[in-house]
Amino acid sequence: MESKYKSIEFWSYIATYSTGFWLAMVRLIDPFYIDRVKAKLYECFGIILNSPTKGMKAKPLNSYLAQSLNSELINIILQAITKFSEPDYQDIQAAE
């Protein structure tokens, strides 16, 4: 019985401890972090690169995603307020 759970425990450890590796690999694909790594590498040799102020390399991609999700959340909230307040507005107009 113990041998059956031993393999589950093994794969559980692999999944848990490899998470940091996969997150680092995903971050290295992001143009912002590629630019930062390249700048730090050049700084080791005394070359200072200017940081971009606009474009994809200026901010991490997750900031664009967060802005998009915030916009969608605001849109959903406003649609819900409009939808659920409409019957009350019609009742108020009918009462006048």
Mean predicted confidence (pLDDT) in 10-14: 86
State the total domains in the chain. Answer: 2
64 and 46 part of one domain: no
What residue type is assigned to position 43 of the chain? E
Confidence of residue 96 (pLDDT cuts 50, 70, 90): low
pTM, whole model, 2 decimals? 0.39
Output the pLDDT for position 44.
Answer: 86
pLDDT digits (tens, 9 = 90+) for 45-86: 888 777 666 766 666 666 666 677 777 788 888 888 877 777
Entry field: residues in the chain:
96
9 and 29 share one domain: yes
Question: Domain span at residue 44?
Answer: 1-50
Q: How far apart are CA 52 and CA 38, in angstroms?
A: 13
- Whether the predicted pLDDT of 30 surpasses 70: yes
Nearest to 54 by CA among 69, 35, 67: 35
Q: At 68, which amino acid appears?
A: S
Q: Say yes or no: 43 and 6 in one domain.
A: yes
Please give the structure tokens belonging to residue 81: 């307020």
Whether 87 is covered by a domain: the verdict is yes
Per-residue pLDDT at 25:
83
